[in-house]
Amino acid sequence: MKEYNLDKRHIIKLEDKSVDLKTNDLHVWYGQNEAIKGVSLEFEENKITSLIGPSGCGKSTYLRSLNRMNDEINNTKVTGEIIYQGIDINADNVDVYEMRKHIGMVFQRPNPFSKSIYENITFALKQHGINDKNYLDEVVETSLKQAALWDQVKDNLGKSALALSGGQQQRLCIARAIAMKPDILLLDEPASALDPISTGKLEETLLNLKKDFSIIIVTHNMQQASRISDYTAFFYMGHAIEYDTTNKIFTRPKIQATEDYVSGHFG
């Protein structure tokens, strides 16, 4: 196993860009295990950013901390700032439930509720007290259109979501997340349980969604990162080692570990 110098980093700052979300010196501990060791990254609005790196480097932990999903895990500690619209959403007084309306998440395995397609999308809205039928109908249609699922399900909105294919279920989960009209969508390996055709459709959907949302995605798939993302961050052993435009990361990385990883010669 090659030893890499973890002090050598290359992290770009998005000075002249519109930054939607950023972290400053973010650390995450599971008990004694420090999984994220001071990560400072900025995410541009209406762009797709991929988080890549070897298994166990902390990509999912970092992603989950961006809308405080790690709060749900016992014995976790998160320090540092997560700045969204000028507010540190890692602060104690933040209403996490409210914040997640702005920063939504889609998980690795499609996890629709055991309810109808329509109810999957309206569930969270109803929880937030929205019951106007016309409004809910409109949100269902718009969200399903944005998630490229409307044409396939529009005549069967009362059908169980569990009867959809895996790829359709994952697009339904995206529709469910965007029904809340978030600004930012976090996706943790959303295509890992999908076949190549469904993966292609999902990637196309994400490319269409970026005009309305900022997207941050964890992926193991190098081709996927290079096909869909504008920026890529390479993680290793709890650090963000290199962060740049996707083109530079895949063609002219500045750090040896990144170069080895993207060229398949890592470790």
Ligand X SMILES: Nc1ncnc2c1ncn2[C@@H]1O[C@H](COP(=O)(O)OP(=O)(O)OP(=O)(O)O)[C@@H](O)[C@H]1O
Q: For residues 107 and 118, which CB has a smaller minimum distance to ligand X in the complex?
A: 107
Strand bridging mode 48-52 / 214-218: parallel
Q: Does 117 bind ligand X (CB under 6 A)?
A: no
3-state secondary structure of 70: helix
Structure tokens at 31: 């008990």
Q: Does 96 bind ligand X (CB under 6 A)?
A: no
* Rg of the chain on CA atoms, in Å: 19
**Nearest-approach distance from CB 62 to ligand X, in angstroms:** 7
**Nearest-approach distance from CB 220 to ligand X, in angstroms:** 6
How many chain residues interact with ligand X (CB under 6 A)?
12
**Nearest-approach distance from CB 144 to ligand X, in angstroms:** 29
Work out which of 32, 55, 85, 114 binds ligand X, going by CB under 6 A: 55
The Cα 113–Cα 157 span in angstroms is 14
What lies within 8 Å, CB to CB, of 267 at 6+ separation is: 1, 2, 54, 260
Task: Mark out the alpha helices in the chain (DSSP H runs).
Answer: 59-65, 96-102, 117-127, 133-146, 150-153, 166-178, 196-209, 222-228, 246-251, 256-262
Q: Which stretch binds ligand X (CB under 6 A): 52-60, 79-87, 92-100, 193-201?
A: 52-60
Q: Does 93 bind ligand X (CB under 6 A)?
A: no
Question: Do 70 and 28 meet the contact criterion of CB atoms below 8 Å apart?
Answer: yes
**Nearest-approach distance from CB 143 to ligand X, in angstroms:** 27
Work out which of 22, 49, 58, 169 binds ligand X, going by CB under 6 A: 58
Q: Does 61 bind ligand X (CB under 6 A)?
A: yes
Q: For residues 9 and 17, which CB has a smaller minimum distance to ligand X in the complex?
A: 9
Structure tokens at 246: 């996707």
Residues that bind ligand X (CB under 6 A): 30, 33, 35, 53, 55-61, 73
